[in-house]
Amino acid sequence: MKIDHIAIWTDQLEVMKKYYMTFFGANPRDNYCNRNTHFESCFLSFDSGARIELMSSPDIPANMNNTIERQYLGIIHLAFGLENADQVYEKYMELQKAGFPILDGPRKTGDGYYEFVTLDPGKNRIEVTTKLPI
């Protein structure tokens, strides 16, 4: 069994689509729009086979998981794995230079990873990580 996709509500569908395409190499499918319900979505695929469904509807409340100080129950971050610490650091520099907030790191974790945490345009936590060699 595998996870087919992760869905993310957003009020900035095109901005979010561009973010995942630009910084993480996502490949978009055509948007789906239901004019009766005002629901719009777009699937993004990654080379690994993983997918994200970006969804938009006017009555969805704002995300509250946008600070390091306070978190809420539920899925808390989406993690992207890179090959090595140099690639993680390069992605950190790229996102920082592009103006995205860095909530934590980059840092070595106690369980052997090198990672940092940032926010996408919808204030969803994004972790970029790699397992350090032993």
Q: What percent of the chain has pLDDT over 70?
A: 94
Backbone phi, then psi, for 104, in 5-degree steps?
-160, 140
Q: How confident is the model at residue 3 (pLDDT cuts 50, 70, 90)?
A: confident
> CATH for 6-56?
3.10.180.10
Write down the mean pLDDT value for the chain. Answer: 92
Nearest to 107, CA basis, from 123, 124, 92:
92
Q: Tokens standing for 85?
A: 């610490």
CATH of 77-131, one of 3.40.50.720, 1.10.10.10, 3.30.200.20, 3.10.180.10: 3.10.180.10
Q: Tokens standing for 111?
A: 């369980």
Q: Tokens standing for 57?
A: 């509807």
DSSP-based three-state secondary structure for 37: coil
From first CA to last CA, the distance across the chain in angstroms is: 30
- Report pLDDT digits (tens) over 67-126: 666 776 677 889 999 999 999 999 999 999 999 999 999 999 999 999 999 999 988 899
Domain ranges of the chain: 6-56, 77-131
Q: What is the mean pLDDT of residues 19-36?
A: 96
